[in-house]
């Protein structure tokens, strides 16, 4: 039964890998298309600094790229043949090397790893497989979380692909709910529970357990189904995602330029000192917010700041597109890396 499970896991991991690769390719295209699209970076759900939407998509992609590497490692390390006899010692095949030779040939025939020792009660391999699938689900759920928030009415920077009736409300005709994102989030929570259950199933007694391994019967297939569904929903959402670049820019400008406060502070710091520059810009931001004044105007009214930076420099510092740091370079790095095919897993069975 363990060997059959491993053969099924091998097939399942191939399907998961293919689905993950498709999602990675969709995200790579999305990141490339919006590498220069300025949007608001948010921390604690508040405007922080300007970023690009391509950068955000590349962050999603980078996690999935690492998961692709982990999948290759799991397939090499954890897909093991099970052949050991009643207590795992291969005693029925005699004291010589015959038992180990049979096990090795069986592993080779099935394309599984030949383990160093029987793993009847060492369930780390299956726990590792399920744990990785849950981790991939969490990364997909993070994408769903971001998309769901971006689809909210107040932010309105994105919308999932339109299909007649999909995402509609039974009573509110105007609704266009982010159904795929919701399912990605839900799957992440369900997958977390499966990973936890597999850790319970790993607590097995002596050389053959009295029951914990029965947990695997439900958990392993459910895990593959949940992640497969989550990846399918993610591919659907990302493939036809509608991005409103105009809304992104208007959201950046919604605070009257306060999102550029750090840029001004960092420019002042070499002349005034970091702490004084922070206090000064903080006070100007508070005044601008209280009076609903654009930050650039509030800065230009402050003589010390104008004397330190000059009017032209102040206006330059208040341009969100001019304060993106290495966002473009990092996005390009992820896109380029993700565009390269993963090296083939040519490892021979141990």
Q: Over the stretch 35-65, which tens digit does the pLDDT of each residue have?
A: 999 999 999 999 999 999 999 999 999 999 9
Tell me which of 152, 169, 250, 326 is the catalytic residue: 169
pLDDT band at 347 (very low <50, low <70, confident <90, very high): very low
Q: What is the mean pLDDT of residues 247-272?
A: 94
Return the pLDDT at 210. 84
Residue 282 pLDDT more than 60? yes
The yes-or-no verdict on residue 163 having pLDDT over 90 is: no
Reading the block at residue 42, the tokens are 């948010």
The pTM for the full model equals: 0.90
348 falls within a domain: no
How far is the C-alpha of 289 from the C-alpha of 287, rounded, in Å? 5
From CA 151, how far away is CA 177, in angstroms rounded? 8
Q: Are residues 181 and 38 in the same domain?
A: yes
The token pair at 141 is 């759920």
Confidence at residue 212, expressed as pLDDT on a 0 to 100 scale: 84
Q: Where are the alpha helices (DSSP H) in the chain?
A: 2-33, 53-77, 98-110, 124-150, 179-201, 214-239, 245-252, 261-272, 274-291, 295-300, 303-309, 311-317, 327-339
User: Does residue 11 lie in a domain region?
Assistant: yes
> 278 and 247: one domain?
no
How much is the average pLDDT of 151-176? 75
Q: Are residues 65 and 166 in the same domain?
A: yes
Contacts made by residues 40-43, CB under 8 angstroms, sequence distance 24+: 40/248, 40/251, 40/252, 40/254, 40/259
**Pairwise CA distance, residues 309 & 263, whole Å:** 12
| Structural domain total, the chain | 2
Same domain, 38 and 182: yes
Q: In the prediction, which pLDDT does 167 show?
A: 52
Same domain, 210 and 164: yes
- Average of pLDDT values for 304-328? 94
124 shares a domain with 265? no
- 130 and 202 housed in the same domain: yes
Helix or strand holding residue 49 (H, E)? strand 46-52
Please indicate, yes or no, whether residues 244 and 267 belong to a single structural domain of this protein: no
Can you tell me the mean pLDDT for 108-112?
Answer: 96
Question: Domain containing 301: what range?
Answer: 258-317
**What pLDDT score was predicted for residue 318?**
94
Instruction: Output the domain CATH number for residue 293.
Output: 1.10.40.30
Nearest 5°: phi and psi at 39?
-145, 170
How large is the average pLDDT for residues 139-150? 97
**Cα(31)–Cα(64) distance, integer angstroms:** 13
**Position 21 pLDDT exceeds 90:** yes
Average pLDDT, the chain: 91
- Which one of 66, 101, 166, 208 is the catalytic residue? 208
pLDDT at 95: 86
Any domain includes 171: yes
Bigger pLDDT: 151 vs 95: 151
* pLDDT of amino acid 171: 57
How many percent of the chain have pLDDT more than 70? 93
Give the DSSP per-residue string, 112-170: -B--SS--TT-THHHHHHHHHHHHHHHHHHHHHHHHHHHTSTTT--EEPPP-TTTT--S
- pLDDT of the residue at 337: 86
Structure tokens, 19: 């689905």
Q: Above pLDDT 90, what percent of the chain?
A: 81
Q: What is the pLDDT of residue 346?
A: 41
User: Is residue 105 included in any domain, yes or no?
Assistant: no
pLDDT for residue 168: 53
Assess if residue 142 is contained within a domain.
yes
pLDDT at residue number 94: 86
**What is the pLDDT averaged over residues 100-125?**
94
Between CA 72 and CA 129 the distance in angstroms is 11
Decide if 208 is catalytic: yes
């Amino acid at each position: 039964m363990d060997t059959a499970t491993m053969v099924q896991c091998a097939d399942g991991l191939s399907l998961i890998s293919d689905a993950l690769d498709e999602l990675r390719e969709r995200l790579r295209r999305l990141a490339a298309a919006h590498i220069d699209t300025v949007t608001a970076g948010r921390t604690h759900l508040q405007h922080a600094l300007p970023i690009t939407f391509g950068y955000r998509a590349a962050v999603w992609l980078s996690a999935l790229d690492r998961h692709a590497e982990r999948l290759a490692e799991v397939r090499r390390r954890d897909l093991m043949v099970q052949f050991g006899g009643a207590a795992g010692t291969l005693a029925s095949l005699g004291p010589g090397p015959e038992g180990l030779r049979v096990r090795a040939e069986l592993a080779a025939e099935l394309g599984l790893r030949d383990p160093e020792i029987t793993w009847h009660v060492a369930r780390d391999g299956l726990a590792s497989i399920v744990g990785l699938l849950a981790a991939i689900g969490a990364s997909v759920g993070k994408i769903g979380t971001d998309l769901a928030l971006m689809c909210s009415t107040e932010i309105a920077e994105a919308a999932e692909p339109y299909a007649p009736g999909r995402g509609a409300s039974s009573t509110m005709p105007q609704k266009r709910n982010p159904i795929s994102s919701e399912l990605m989030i839900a799957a992440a929570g369900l997958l977390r529970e499966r990973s936890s259950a597999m850790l319970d199933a790993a607590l097995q007694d002596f050389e053959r357990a009295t029951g914990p391994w029965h947990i695997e019967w439900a958990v392993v297939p459910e895990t593959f189904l949940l992640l497969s569904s989550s990846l399918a929903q993610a591919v659907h959402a990302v493939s036809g995602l509608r991005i409103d670049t105009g809304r992104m820019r208007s959201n950046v400008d919604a605070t009257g330029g306060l999102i550029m406060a750090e840029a001004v502070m960092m420019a002042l710091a070499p002349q005034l000192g970091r702490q004084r520059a922070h206090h000064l810009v903080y006070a100007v931001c508070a005044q601008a917010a209280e009076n609903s004044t654009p930050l650039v105007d509030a800065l230009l009214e402050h003589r010390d700041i104008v004397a330190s930076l000059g009017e032209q420099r102040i206006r330059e510092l208040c341009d969100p597109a001019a304060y993106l740091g290495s966002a473009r370079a990092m996005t390009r790095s992820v896109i380029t890396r993700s565009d390269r095919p993963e090296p083939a897993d040519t490892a021979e069975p141990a």
